[in-house]
Structure 1
Amino acid sequence: MTATGSHNSLKKQQDFPVGIIEGFFGTPWDMRSRMTFIERLPRMGLNFYIYAPKNDPCLRSRWSEEFTAEYTSALKQLALKIKSAGMKFGIGFSPLGATADSRKNLPVFRRQIKHLAEELHPDYLALLFDDMKISLEHEGVLQNIFIRECLDVLTPYGIRLITCSSFYTTDPILEKVFGKMPECYHSDLLKGLPDSVDFFWTGSKVISTEYTEKDLLLAAEILGRRPFIWDNYPVNDGRKASDYLYLKPFSGRNLIPSLASGIAVNPMKQTFLNLFPLASLRKALETDNAELISEAAAENLKFCHGGSFTDFMGTCTELFASTPVSEITDLKRNDLLRLLDEMLLEKKSALSGAVPADGSITDTDVGETEKIRNELAEINEIKNFLNGKYVFDPACLTG
């Protein structure tokens, strides 16, 4: 490959959408933690962040109510933070029940989309019809109407529209939980929509362990375009998944850049622990070589964790991924909590000594301080996990 060809290939990889969709059920992250977490993402090679918590009522259950000035201001600050980190900002919008009376709801829907576009200036708007009960045979026709209305509002602003249909996988669990898919659902849904409208897809399952060529080509056939992967690893908001922490590197993702239009990762309910799997994502999109993926993850983690802490996390990875927290023995749980408390004291002491007595701070000091703060947050997240704080939310219907 020529030098020019190599440069173009690298640029294409960098431009490929790889980011986060904060779309899990349960208690949303607090804004301060979210902001700090966002600062770490560019180092992992991520280039966008879509805010779409299932438990933000303004974007779901109370979608038709006018946004307060305080709420809009908070989202503006979030957008500014994401863009200042060099990433694109997106907002998710789920108009629950809107299709039941489209004549009444369309004007309200248009007003809300216009407000989001004008006030937040997002790069992406995700229009989400997932996790909604299906009772109308012509649901695809109705959702198509809302997508068209949304596109009409967004186009003048140059905002990219990504939508998620009610049937975003071939996994039969969706019909069991939300109702039978209408016979012409996808043909009705897609009718007349331009190729510029992206569609989320979770793979062959709601939670897919890999994305094969067969899976991705089937998705493209169903959607009439390359899928935009909504990756439900490492999210842990389901009935069973809430008992685990998924810290292992990504795998089985190397075909996504050539057969999909982007990938959005749905993170765990814990905030900073997501840095461990995310450190491997970019390399996992390039290769399926586990050794190379692990090496890349280790290199990325050096920038936000100390070596000893990364080693400690490595000893816990298999335990938390394979053993439900409710089945960890009291002896093992108490040993871990004791060790975590010791580490907590050690890290707090190190943090207090990280700033010189004269108050001068070098770039090295800032880097070390960030590492310690990451580790303090993660220690507390593990403690809370072991103590049962992150329990299953029954609202997660696909759990």
Structure 2
Amino acid sequence: MAFHYGVIEGLYDQENQWSWESRNAYASFCAKKGFNFYIYAPKNDPYLREQWNQPWPEQDFHHLNTLGLSLKQNNVRFGIGLTPFNVRELNHKSRQQLQQKIASINQLNPQILSILFDDFSNDIDDLAKTQADIAEFIAAESTATQFIVAGTYYSKDPLLQRVYGTMPKGYWSDLGQYLDPQFDIFWTGDHVISLGYDQPGLQEMTDQFQRKPFLWDNYPVNDTEWLKHRLRLYTFTGRPWQISDWCRGHAVNPMIQPRLSMIPLATLADLYQQQDRFDGHASFRKAVVDLCGQSLASAIEDNLLYFTEEGTLNFSGFTRKRLENTFSVFQSETAQPYVREILTWLQSGEKC
């Protein structure tokens, strides 16, 4: 099957949730840049996670439906990410609750359904087999045409075993064995937030999963406490275009700031479309001008190291004020969505 790249909205942050207006802006952005899909899977939506067995409030359901329609009208495939939180077995109660939830999701008509067992404790026997059985049951109830599973251990990062316990022996190969070939499997790499990917590492997981992995790339995400003070605006690095040969797909997880996230995301599109001709810095410069306009782009590039390396935790009062004064002068309709996010970020750093 063809390789596809797209966006997965997977933020944890409770204080900085994306607006529906921002999400809807991704329909035209993804279409313009050649992104194939947008998966709605924020960890801060309780109706996809801790309260998955409860229905969405009517207004949220309406917004989700509108988002899906907007994406499809732009020929961008719409996805939903469901975490069957604390489902430890398929019994009468869990089957009934899952059927009800999937029936509700089917009304939204997503083409992609992601079944996410990540980031919650699942200390049960036969973990891989149980998760495969749950995923198979969900897929049988769904009208989606593509299914992607995230296991409990979705990276080699030792953090996962420190938090969720020792990984069962043979977990990755068992997951690959028990999951029907129709399922893709998410993989974040050697770390939860990986600096890059190479062919040997991805081939190893291909062998384990008995299929090419589907990258869940946590760049430019910044919703962890140690990254919130930075804006990860720069071009994608450490990701060779040959990933399109080594993986089934590439899903990128954006920042707390939806509009500013479009800057690095645009460079990923260039990477895959230009391949050996890709120039990361030229791609960044073009992306920021195309999105923000020349004047604001120049100001962002001039202050790039303050955003990406120094961060608000290290700003002096003088630097913070200088940046506020620099960016608050941009009032054009094009510039405003980006400027608002920069100023909000600067103000949030003041509270730290």
* Alignment-derived partner of residue 261 in structure 1: 248
CA–CA separation in structure 1 for the residues paired with 2:210 and 2:350 = 39
* Alignment-derived partner of residue 136 in structure 2: 148
Q: Is the aligned partner of 1:131 residue 2:119?
A: yes
* Aligned counterpart in structure 2 of residue 215 of structure 1, from 184, 201, 212: 201
- Please identify, of 281-290 and 227-236, the stretch whose mean Cα deviation from structure 2 is larger: 281-290
- Please identify, of 225-234 and 290-299, the stretch whose mean Cα deviation from structure 2 is larger: 290-299
The 1:192/1:100 distance shift into structure 2, 3 A limit, reads closer
* Alignment-derived partner of residue 19 in structure 1: 6
Shift of 1:192: 3.7
Q: How does 1:264-343 map to 2 (within 5 A)?
A: 264-285=251-272, 292-343=279-330
The superposition leaves residues 134-156 of structure 1 with CA deviations (integer Å, 9 ceiling, x where unpaired) of: 322322222111011012123xx
Q: How does 1:1-399 map to 2 (within 5 A)?
A: 16-26=3-13, 27-99=16-88, 102-117=91-106, 119-154=107-142, 157=143, 159-253=145-239, 254-285=241-272, 292-344=279-331, 347=332, 372-373=333-334, 375-388=335-348
Shift of 1:179: 1.6
Aligned length: 349
CA–CA separation in structure 1 for the residues paired with 2:90 and 2:149 = 20
The answer as to whether partners of 1:141 and 1:189 remain within 8 angstroms in 2 is yes
Shift of 1:231: 0.5
The superposition leaves residues 184-232 of structure 1 with CA deviations (integer Å, 9 ceiling, x where unpaired) of: 4334433442222001100111111111011111121221110110010
The answer as to whether partners of 1:102 and 1:142 remain within 8 angstroms in 2 is no
CA–CA separation in structure 2 for the residues paired with 1:376 and 1:289 = 35
CA–CA separation in structure 1 for the residues paired with 2:288 and 2:311 = 26
The answer as to whether partners of 1:242 and 1:391 remain within 8 angstroms in 2 is no
SS in structure 2 opposite 1:387?
helix
CA–CA separation in structure 2 for the residues paired with 1:115 and 1:104 = 17
CA–CA separation in structure 1 for the residues paired with 2:351 and 2:52 = 26
The answer as to whether partners of 2:43 and 2:49 remain within 8 angstroms in 1 is yes
- Please list every run of 5 or more consecutive structure 2 residues that lacks an aligned counterpart in the other structure: none
Stretches of 4+ aligned residues off by more than 4 angstroms: 100-103, 286-291, 389-392
The superposition leaves residues 51-101 of structure 1 with CA deviations (integer Å, 9 ceiling, x where unpaired) of: 011110111111112344433322111101111122010011011101167
Shift of 1:328: 1.1
The answer as to whether partners of 2:299 and 2:327 remain within 8 angstroms in 1 is no
Sequence identity (%): 30
Shift of 1:300: 4.3
Shift of 1:18: 1.1
| Paired residue type of 2:139 | L
Shift of 1:287: 6.5
Shift of 1:167: 0.6
TM-score by length of 1: 0.82
The answer as to whether partners of 1:19 and 1:49 remain within 8 angstroms in 2 is yes
The answer as to whether partners of 2:117 and 2:150 remain within 8 angstroms in 1 is yes
* Alignment-derived partner of residue 358 in structure 1: none
The superposition leaves residues 303-342 of structure 1 with CA deviations (integer Å, 9 ceiling, x where unpaired) of: 4331121121112222211113111111111111112222
The answer as to whether partners of 2:8 and 2:251 remain within 8 angstroms in 1 is yes
CA–CA separation in structure 1 for the residues paired with 2:185 and 2:91 = 21
Shift of 1:258: 0.3
The answer as to whether partners of 1:252 and 1:288 remain within 8 angstroms in 2 is no
- Please list every run of 5 or more consecutive structure 1 residues that lacks an aligned counterpart in the other structure: 1-11, 348-371, 393-399
TM-score by length of 2: 0.92
The answer as to whether partners of 1:125 and 1:161 remain within 8 angstroms in 2 is yes
Larger Rg: 1
